[in-house]
Amino acid sequence: MTTIRDVAKLADVSVATVSRVLNQTGNVSPKTLQRVEAAISQLNYQPNDVARSLFKGRSKMIALFVPDIMNPFFPELARAAEDVASKHGYTFVLCNTDGDGEKELTYLKALKQKSVDGIIIVSSTLSKDAMAHLDLPIIALDRKIGTNIAAVTVNNRKAAQQAVTHLQEVGCKRIAHIRGPQGASNAEDRMAGYIDIVGQTDWFNPSFICEGDYTADHAYKAALDLLQQHPEIDGIFAANDLMGVGVLKAAAALGKKVPDELAVIGFDGIALGEVTIPTLSTMAQPTYDIGARAAEMLIEHIDTYDLNRFVEPVEYEVKLIKRQSTERRTNDDK
């Protein structure tokens, strides 16, 4: 490996001077500048980032915590964050947490030891206490964490209201909800939006709300139970698209026609929803944008070195996309 010392020797200057041209700090005369640059390119010298990190205490790396990159919602988030990171010269570390608090803590520790500069976290298990100790720039993404950690999310409650209203508009009389996991702020908010719309109706029944965990398999089983126990249900709002697909499968398994006997709407807007049969209506998030925004905020946070600044939460809008799974029933009694 060729070091700054080799360059200095070849250019017949001190390492300090080489460092100066490398970082464009301090003044160097045009003549020596040229000599140094020549030496650098002649030796094909590339500064050692580890040494830099050691001195500076920062690594030019950011990390993203996701529950599981195999859930199709997260790759887009990851892609966006990586694009932004790389654009700003940051290296991008990906951590699958499985929503496991222990794992999250282990990762946190490891990253801290590596002087990672900041972290974007999708989590509903991490306590803010754990992160107070951390003293690292953090942005919560998709789900809020406590109240004093900057967050990038969408307006889940309002979007959920819209989704349920849409089901009503296409003629649904008994609408159930398959919710996301306990403690996930987005799951709570989406459920709240559902309740806002149907909670006061005469038919509403708390057992119309099923616990889910954002996976298709679980939602499939939950929907099976739900539809067998409550055959009168003619609309389901699933808290994410993956669960929406699970509902679609359950409906198919039970011979329930979608949308004629059961209308279904999901949440997220993943590409998957376009290729199911029927295609899945959804509340589409601007997924790439929120991932990119979170990364931008984090990096700005890092660059300004402003650790204690309270950062306003950012909320994006969600867009209703109507597809076959909620196509208006023409033969409806409405």
Query: For binding to DNA (CB under 7 A), which residues are involved?
Result: 1, 3-5, 12-17, 19-20, 22-23, 25-29, 31-33, 45-48, 51-52, 54-57
Least separation in angstroms between residue 7's CB and DNA is 8
The CA-CA-CA angle for residues 303, 104, 180, to 5°, reads: 105
Instruction: State the maximum Cα–Cα separation within the chain, in Å, rounded to a whole number.
Output: 90
Q: Are 117 and 58 in contact (CB under 8 A)?
A: yes
**Which position among 158, 249, 322, 329 is part of the footprint of a second copy (CB under 8 A)?**
249
User: Which region among 78-86, 119-127, 184-192, 312-320 touches a second copy (by CB under 8 A)?
Assistant: 78-86
User: Which region among 87-95, 144-152, 173-181, 258-266 touches a second copy (by CB under 8 A)?
Assistant: 87-95
Give the separation between CA 255 and CA 201, rounded to whole angstroms: 28
Picked from DNA, a second copy, none, the partner binding residue 115 (CB below 5 to 8 A depending on kind) is a second copy
φ and ψ of 281, to 5 deg = -65, 150
Binding flags for a second copy, 131-160, as an x/- string (CB under 8 A):
------------------------------
Q: Does 275 contact a second copy by CB under 8 A?
A: yes
Picked from a second copy, DNA, none, the partner binding residue 3 (CB below 5 to 8 A depending on kind) is DNA
What are the CA-CA distances from residue 174 to residues 85, 94, 164, 169, 199 (Å)? 46, 42, 11, 12, 11
Give the separation between CA 142 and CA 286, rounded to whole angstroms: 11
DSSP state letters, 45-71: ----HHHHHHHHS--SEEEEEES-TTS
Picked from a second copy, DNA, none, the partner binding residue 31 (CB below 5 to 8 A depending on kind) is DNA
**What residues numbered 9-68 form the site for a second copy, per CB under 8 A?**
46-51, 53-54, 57, 59, 61, 68
Q: Does 115 contact a second copy by CB under 8 A?
A: yes
Burial class (CB in 10 A: 0-12, 13-18, 19+), 271: exposed
Q: Are 37 and 21 in contact (CB under 8 A)?
A: yes
Least separation in angstroms between residue 50's CB and DNA is 7
User: Which chain residues interact with a second copy by CB under 8 A?
Assistant: 1, 46-51, 53-54, 57, 59, 61, 68-70, 72, 74-76, 78-79, 82-83, 86, 89, 91-96, 107, 109-115, 245, 248-249, 272, 275-277
